[in-house]
Every structure is written in C-alpha cells, then in structure tokens.
Amino acid sequence: MQKPLCFVLMPFGQKPGAGGAVIDFDAVYGELIKPAVEAAGLAPLRADEEQAGGIIHKPMFERLILCEFAVADLTTANANVFYELGVRHAIKPATTILLYAADGTRLPFDVAPMRALAYRLDSDGKPAAEADRDKLAQLLQAARADTVDSPVYQMVEGFPDIQHIKTDVFRERVEYSAAVKEELRGARGKKRGEMVQAIRAIEQHIGPLERAEAGVLVDLLLSYRAASGWDEMIRVAGQMSDPLRRTPLVQEQLAFGLNRAGRGEEAERVLLNLIEARGPSSETFGLLGRVYKDRWDAAVKNAETILARGLLDKAIETYLKGFEADWRDAYPGINAVTLMELRTPPDPRAGPLVPVIRYAVERKIASGKPDYWDFATLLELAVLAKDENAAMDALAKALAVIREGWEAETTARNLRLIRVARQARNEAPPWATEIEDELQRRAIK
C-alpha cells in the first residue's frame, strides 16, 4: 500500500540558532523528523532548495496543496518556511504539525499561540532526545483524525474546505493555461474515433508531464477518459509527480482506467489501498463496486453460476458501503438497488432504499447544479418502478446534459441488465428497449 505523503518544510544545512549555537538541520531531518514520519506510517518528502531567483516554484505549491500531511520546522524563523506554512494553512484545515528547536527560539507573534513541539538539541546541534521523535510520531498519528489545526479555519467561520473535490467538477475549479483548456475541450468534441489522436497531439505540446501544471494533467487524464483511452489514462497517471499521483482523485481515475482496460485486479488493489489509507468514500466504493460488477458479468458469460451469485452479492454490498459512506451521493445507491433487481428473487432491501436514493438525487438537482448522473439516476429509478412517463422525462433531461459517450453506455448497460432479468420473469415492459437504444446511439457518436 502506498503510504500517505508528509511534506517537510524546514531549513537546510547548518544554521545559527537563537542562542548562537549552530543547528544541523540535515541531522534534525535525518534523526528526528524522517524517522518520526515513517513511524507514523507516512512517507516523508522534504522540500528542496530548487528555487529560481528566490521564487517558489510550481511543484512546491502542488506539494503544499496535495500532500496529505505536513511538518514545518519554524526554528530560525526562515522566511521561506513561514511563507509555505501560510499557503498550507490557507488551503488545508488540518494535518499540519509545527515544531521548533528549544534552544532559546522565540516564535514570532502571529504563530506563538499555535501548538508546536519543542525538540531538544545536543552540543553538536543535533537531536538529543529519542522521546521527541516518539512525540512527533504521536502528533502525526493524531493528525489522522483531521482535527482542525489551521488558524484560518479555526478563526474564520465558513472558510471553504477545498480538500475534497469531486472528479467531474475538478476542471471547473482549477485555473490553468486557457489555451490548453480550450484545445482539450475541442478534442473532446470530436467524433469518438478521432478523440484519442487529437488529445495525443495536444499532449505532445504540453511537454514533459512531470513538469506540467496539476490542472493540465488532470484535464488531460479526464480527456482520455472521455475518449475511452484507458491505456492513455494509465500512462498519464504514471507520469505525474508523486504528490499528484497519490491524490484520491487521480488514484480513483487510475483504477477506473485499469478496470476498463481489463486489469481489474490492479484496479481493486488501488481502490482497497485508497480506502485503507483514506477511509470510506462513496466514490471509491462506487468504483470498487464496478470492479466486482464486471467480474460478475464475466462469470455469467462463462456460465459460472455459483461464482456469479457470490460476485453479485459482493458488488451489491460494496455499492451499499459507498452509499452509507455519504447518503448525499446517489450513484452507489442506485447501482446497489439496480443489482438487487437482478437477484432471484429480487433483494427486498431495495424497497426501503429507493426513497432515500430518490430524495438524495432530488436534493442534488434542486441545488441548481445537476449533471448527467443525476438524471440517469432518476431514469433508472423510473425503470425500476416501471413508470414509462417518468422514464422518458428523465431520459430527455439526461441526454440534454450528457458529456461523454461512456456515460450513456454505462446507463444503457444497467437498463439492459434490468430488462434481461425481468424478461426471465416475464415482467419487462415493452418500452424499455427503446430507451436503451437511444442511449446506445448517443454512446457511439
């Protein structure tokens, strides 16, 4: 499992401390901070000195934003460390730990009230106490609880929390090169068979991916997704910087691409590792449910009846975990009840769940920012209820906001599964095929 990254902000080399004695900051990192970070189950990433003319470079900002944890050594009141700490506190409400050398250091007024670990030094300016390392490890472990430690978030009520951003709105929240953004949008507007080639041409002009802006890389990743370029998604994710590649958004999309490329076991490992590291998430469990759903489908096609039954139940339970993780996200909920309809007999747990899912999606639509999946959810609910008028109405609204062909293909597949199961029970309404055909036409454009 990939360990969460901890970004370390601190001075380098040997610097004079407040008491006049020289402090060996490389020893502080190697003997105190790094071992403590590793003992807390994290992977240390030390800020480098690569700055052009004193200007903090883009990778530094990306690490400050994307690394899940951070440690800042405030000894010597280093200007760069304090600037970086300010950026971190502005965008991360939690998971930032402060420390300083107890050599007479006096913290500046603005940070003096903050909780910080004072570590001890020996006569050579190196860490003197193993207990300080243990204490730092304990503080990092405690930070996993996401207790707010940023004074910005503590003192300014309602300050926006941008640490959790849904995949499909990421492009709208990140400012980056307008020219590249427009080029990628144009490529996604081409016919499906031409999209991958057009996106590849744009990628060539971006240059080395490890140096590109995070917003450009994520848009490139999602553009390949729109073109069903699964192998390209996997490649792009692999060439991202480590902090960006480790983010839940990129890990989830990597798993999405792996599964669609027929590498379901790898996708499963990525998602299970993400759940272990970050905790339950509706989106992560939703993607994992799709992995098990595809395995069930393969078992059905191979006439492995008993295995198929077990995989269907596993997919249902996984989608349910996703819906229970966040009941505002209807996506894993609708997938759970759709699969429940395929059991013989249908799973009775679907009955109480349907009103909850309907309420969740209706509240999302009422918020004024509905997307394709919201109307697709209403469509599947209407088909499950055998309500033709509601189904046709939801279909019209879904087609009006469709973004990528694979979305319609996914919905058509779900409806086909429902229809086939009902045909076996002589319950399929005659209008169901018409809806599937319309979605499939949109999927191949």
Q: Single out the residue in 256, 273, 290 at which a domain terminates.
A: 273
Residues 15 and 73 grouped into a single domain: yes
Is 194 among the domain residues? yes
Is 441 among the domain residues? no
Q: How many CA atoms lie within 13 A of 154 on its CB side?
A: 11
Residues 9 and 85 grouped into a single domain: yes
176 burial via Cβ count (<10 Å: 0-12, 13-18, 19+): middle
Q: Which of 211, 272, 269, 202 is nearest to 232 (CA)?
A: 202
Q: Which of 231, 227, 215, 217 is nearest to 188 (CA)?
A: 227
Mean pLDDT per 10-residue segment, the chain (445 residues): 87 82 92 95 78 57 87 87 89 90 68 76 89 93 84 64 48 57 87 89 85 83 93 95 87 97 97 91 96 97 96 98 94 96 94 96 91 96 96 96 88 95 92 94 74
Q: Which of 168, 221, 219, 228 is nearest to 196 (CA)?
A: 228
pLDDT at residue 360, as a whole number: 94
Beta bridge partners of 148: 94
User: Pairing mode, if any, of strands 117-119 and 69-73?
Assistant: unpaired
Q: What is the spatial distance between Cα 1 and Cα 243, in angstroms, rounded to a whole number?
A: 15
Residues 15 and 139 grouped into a single domain: yes
Residues 226 and 149 grouped into a single domain: no
Residues 13 and 103 grouped into a single domain: yes
CB atoms within 10 A of CB 356: 14
Give the amino acid at 411: T
- Note the helical H segments in 326-371: 330-340, 350-366
SS3 148: strand
pLDDT at residue 162, as a whole number: 42
Q: What is the spatial distance between Cα 316 and Cα 339, in angstroms, rounded to a whole number?
A: 6
Element (H, E) at 22: strand 22-24
Residues 37 and 109 grouped into a single domain: yes
430 burial via Cβ count (<10 Å: 0-12, 13-18, 19+): exposed
Is 408 among the domain residues? no
Q: What is the spatial distance between Cα 436 and Cα 228, in angstroms, rounded to a whole number?
A: 20
pLDDT at residue 167, as a whole number: 53
Q: What is the spatial distance between Cα 376 and Cα 394, in angstroms, rounded to a whole number?
A: 7
Give the domain range for residue 176.
Answer: 165-273
**Phi and psi torsions of 245, nearest 5°:** -65, -30
Q: Single out the residue in 95, 125, 155 at which a domain terminates.
A: 155
DSSP string, 197-257: HHHHHHHHHH--GGGS-HHHHHHHHHHHHHTT-HHHHHHHHHTS-HHHHTSHHHHHHHHHH
Q: What is the spatial distance between Cα 313 and Cα 292, in angstroms, rounded to a whole number?
A: 9
Residues 140 and 26 grouped into a single domain: yes
pLDDT at residue 445, as a whole number: 61
pLDDT at residue 8, as a whole number: 94
Using the CB atoms, write b or e for 36-49: b if 16+ within 10 Å: bbeebebbbbbbee
Instruction: Please answer whether residues 381 and 341 qualify as being in contact, where contact means their C-beta atoms are separated by less than 8 angstroms.
Output: no
Residues 99 and 34 grouped into a single domain: yes
Is 440 among the domain residues? no
CATH, residue 188: 1.25.40
Q: What is the spatial distance between Cα 7 and Cα 207, in angstroms, rounded to a whole number?
A: 26
pLDDT at residue 216, as a whole number: 84
Is 292 among the domain residues? no
CATH, residue 121: 3.40.50
**Phi and psi torsions of 323, nearest 5°:** -70, -35
Contacts of residue 426, Cβ cutoff 8 Å, sequence gap at least 6: none
Is 439 among the domain residues? no
CB atoms within 10 A of CB 202: 18
Instruction: Please answer whether residues 244 and 62 qualify as being in contact, where contact means their C-beta atoms are separated by less than 8 angstroms.
Output: yes
**Phi and psi torsions of 11, nearest 5°:** -70, 165
pLDDT at residue 170, as a whole number: 47
Q: Which of 252, 432, 390 is nearest to 332 (CA)?
A: 252
Q: Single out the residue in 155, 176, 211 at which a domain terminates.
A: 155
Question: How many folded domains does the chain comprise?
Answer: 2
Q: How far is CA 148 from the centre of its chain?
A: 20
pLDDT at residue 287, as a whole number: 97
345 burial via Cβ count (<10 Å: 0-12, 13-18, 19+): exposed
Q: For the whole prediction, is pTM greater than 0.85? A: no
- Note the helical H segments in 261-340: 264-278, 282-301, 305-325, 330-340
pLDDT at residue 337, as a whole number: 97
Residues 22 and 145 grouped into a single domain: yes
Instruction: Please answer whether residues 204 and 6 qualify as being in contact, where contact means their C-beta atoms are separated by less than 8 angstroms.
Output: no
Residues 126 and 178 grouped into a single domain: no
Is 295 among the domain residues? no
Is 360 among the domain residues? no
Instruction: Please answer whether residues 335 and 410 qualify as being in contact, where contact means their C-beta atoms are separated by less than 8 angstroms.
Output: no
C-alpha distance from residue 285 to each of 196, 216, 278 (Å): 28, 26, 12
pLDDT at residue 200, as a whole number: 93
SS3 71: strand
Residues 143 and 268 grouped into a single domain: no
Residues 84 and 178 grouped into a single domain: no
